[in-house]
Amino acid sequence: MKELRYLPLHILVCVIIGIFAQHYFIIWKFGFYKLYSLLSILLICLFIFHRLKRKWIFILISSFTYTLVGVSSLYISNNNNYKTYFINYIKPNSKLILELKEELKANSYNYRFIGSVISIDNQKTLGKVLINISKDSSHQNLGVGNRLYTISELIEIQPPKNPYDFNYKRYMNLKGIEYQLFLNTKTYRVITTETHSLLTTIAELKKDIQLSLQPYFSHNVFGIINSLLLGERKVVSKKLLTDYSDAGAIHILAISGLHVGILVLLLNYLFYPLLFIKYGKSIRFILLILMIWLFAILTGLSSSVVRATTMFSFIVLGKYLNQKQPIENALISSMLLLLICKPTFLFDVGFQLSYIAVLSIVKLQPLLYTIYTPKYSIVDKIWQLTTVSITAQIGVLPLSLYYFHQFPSLFLLSNLIIVPCLGMILLFGILIVILALLKFLPQFLIYFYENIIHLMNSIVSWISSQENFILKKINISFPEVILYYLIIIFLFQFIRNKSVQILLFPLSFVICIQTLYIVDKNKYNSKREFIVFHMNKESIIGNRTWNTLEVYHTKTHNEIMKVTSLVNYTLKENIDSLNVNSTKNIIKVKDKLVLVIDSLGIHPKAIPENSIILLQYSPKLNLNRLIKTLQPQQIIADGSNYKSYIEQWKRTCKKQKTPFHSTKQNGAYILRY
């Protein structure tokens, strides 16, 4: 592999090690001055030992230096390490000035934005927060660039309440956001309606485009146009998103390497005549870079777009410089640049999948393509697209199973139909945007474009409805992901070198995977635990015995299997059997009894020692008297209770010195036995 001799690859490996080390172990916490001093000393040592031609000492010091670069990139990007980070100045009733930087998809109750904390009590600060603004018709025009004044309380973003739920806290922390605000009409006011920056200019341009296009297209088609051309999935319906996900085509709706790659391909054909004039190659290179970055700016410079545009900028540069391996070198160089500038990209699922997909295509597609040689041009194009789709899927499969736990087996069909349409949709879409802004959009073009997207949506919907071809609830561990990639790598080497000895490695890894499976199976089959899940306005109790889970709830089995938290738990814990029963007043958990008191408030006069009381559906009772009478070991209040009741019970238990657990505040209650 020639890229092993490419110096930036060795630097990249060291930088990745440094980022991992700083993220998981926080090895550097000594300040910026000492960090820069150490880097300066290392650079001087590198220069000295290079001049002295001490090869191994030079390699050792350079490896340490580049690892420290990875550490420093993450340290520098962490706002907590700066004195001006807003949390260092926050006090009760502090006056905050916020600027809306990015609009997120609204939920049922709030408009949501990422905002920058400009100042606190007239002290300039840095840092970002999640802003939730209660839906109110008088404030629907809030957008990027608006500045708000508020004295509302900052609330730390909470971790998931149930085991294996999506960790939104971690997701936002990787974006540099740890706190959020909940605002309504009475708690804030708009102090600036316009600020001039690149982001606000982009936001205004996108809004103009949306207003120009919306009257011409139906809701679903307008949502797809927003997603493909403007990088916004907020308008796409939940059902349509689910259809694209089940059809294995969700990557179509997120602007990524696929879209930028198709755009580069189209622009290459468009600018091909420039090669016949003087300096035409240089002019085409400059135009290509300008056009793809203009597209990135138009779509809002989201993380996925910046990553894809950076990657293809390096690929275009490699082609321009006539490098022998332009794509491999471009992947390495662009990844190195991105990770130094934005180290948290390393933990982004989209970043991982996009680079692995492109690398898999580059390395595996030529091998797969040689299996069959089509005689006709049209068949050859279809075969090329087929091999690209298959090799991309091979590359991302282990990670996709690890993150999403499903495999759309009709991915090939959806890609063969949709990807060719995507080039046409992008090309005509850009034309339609320009004509719509000029107020000169012909009806026949609207009809043509509407029908193309409607046809694509219908095909995706049909593919996603073939549920027998969607393999769901697949659970693999991270060590298994590594082993699967090692199998792919060594099988690739076997196909290239035709050496039977290489097959010993993937066979050994298969045995390792089987061993891991057996170990995990035994571990999960030996577990016993009682769990009270947190559900808003509902109560779900689970009693797990080895690989069987007894669920106590009023819902049916089909209804209960739609509860995301329960599905996640059964999947991750390898539960084979799930039984749904009506809630009992008394549940036996090994040598303990769990007394369930519902809205009726009925309970026995005496219970055994070390018993647990679960309060659900806001029972009206005198908890002080209940504790004195029954003397429970633990009291639990789940998410079905009123918040005011929970606060009152918490105070009572504190006075009585009885342990109290609220799933609303502390997450699910788990008792292992």
- pLDDT: which is higher, 198 or 66: 66
Residue 8 has pLDDT above 70, yes or no: yes
Map residue 546 onto helix, strand or coil: coil
Chain-wide mean pLDDT for the chain?
87
Cα gap 144→204, rounded to integer Å: 8
Cα gap 476→650, rounded to integer Å: 40
- pLDDT: which is higher, 297 or 626: 626
Using only C-alpha atoms, what is the Rg of the chain? 29
Number of helical (H) and strand (E) elements in the chain, helices listed first: 22, 20
Number of neighbouring beta carbons within 10 Å of residue 382? 14
Which run of H or E residues covers position 155? strand 155-156
Structure tokens at 515: 């061993």
pLDDT at 329: 87
Cα gap 523→517, rounded to integer Å: 10
- pLDDT: which is higher, 607 or 340: 340
Confidence at 602, pLDDT banded by 50, 70, 90: confident
- Write the CB contacts of 115 (distance below 8 Å, at least 6 apart in sequence): 98, 99, 100, 101, 128, 129, 130, 131, 148, 181
pLDDT at 108: 81
CB 541 within 8 A of CB 553: yes
3-state secondary structure 383-443: HHHHHHHHHHHHHHHHHHHHHHCEEECCHHHHHHHHHHHHHHHHHHHHHHHHHHHCCCCCH
CB 133 within 8 A of CB 143: no
pLDDT at 298: 75
CB 267 within 8 A of CB 291: yes
Pinpoint the alpha helices (H) of 300-409: 303-320, 326-341, 349-369, 377-404
Residue 205 has pLDDT above 90, yes or no: no
Cα gap 547→15, rounded to integer Å: 42
Tokens 């001799």 appear where? 5
pLDDT at 213: 79
pLDDT at 176: 92
Structure tokens at 491: 């099988």
Instruction: Quick: pLDDT tens for 654-668.
Output: 999 999 999 999 999
Which run of H or E residues covers position 23? helix 7-25
178: region left, alpha or beta (phi > 0 left; psi from -120 to 50 alpha): alpha
Number of neighbouring beta carbons within 10 Å of residue 621? 16
Question: For the whole model, what pTM was predicted?
Answer: 0.87
Instruction: Quick: pLDDT tens for 83-139.
Output: 999 999 999 889 999 999 888 888 888 889 999 999 999 999 999 999 999 887 555
pLDDT at 199: 67
Map residue 509 onto helix, strand or coil: helix
107: region left, alpha or beta (phi > 0 left; psi from -120 to 50 alpha): beta
Instruction: Quick: pLDDT tens for 361-415.
Output: 888 888 888 888 888 888 888 888 888 888 888 999 999 999 988 888 777 777 7
CB burial of 268-301 (b: ≥16 within 10 Å; e: otherwise) equals eeebeeeeeeeeeeeebbeebbebbbebbbbbbb
Q: Between helices 411-437 and 219-230, what is the axis angle to 10°? A: 90
Instruction: Quick: pLDDT tens for 217-251.
Output: 888 788 888 887 777 777 777 788 888 777 777 77
Nearest to 257 by CA among 265, 267, 246, 268: 265
Instruction: Quick: pLDDT tens for 429-480.
Output: 878 888 877 778 888 888 888 888 888 888 888 888 887 777 888 889 999 9
Q: Which long-range contacts (CB under 8 A, 24 or more apart) does 583-590 make?
A: 583/539, 583/541, 583/552, 583/553, 583/554, 583/616, 584/552, 587/530, 587/541, 587/543, 587/552, 589/530, 589/543, 589/671, 589/673, 590/528, 590/673
pLDDT average, residue stretch 253-257:
73
Residue 541 has pLDDT above 90, yes or no: yes
Cα gap 309→256, rounded to integer Å: 8
pLDDT at 186: 86
pLDDT at 669: 96
- Write the CB contacts of 465 (distance below 8 Å, at least 6 apart in sequence): none
Residue 155 has pLDDT above 80, yes or no: yes
Nearest to 534 by CA among 650, 652, 636, 658: 636
pLDDT at 58: 86
Q: How many residues does the chain have?
A: 673
Proportion of the chain in helix, strand, coil states, percent, rounded to 5:
60, 15, 25
Tell me the percentage of the chain whose pLDDT exceeds 90.
40
Tokens 């290079």 appear where? 50
CB 547 within 8 A of CB 524: yes
| DSSP state for residue 136 in the 8-state scheme | -
pLDDT at 61: 92
pLDDT at 152: 83
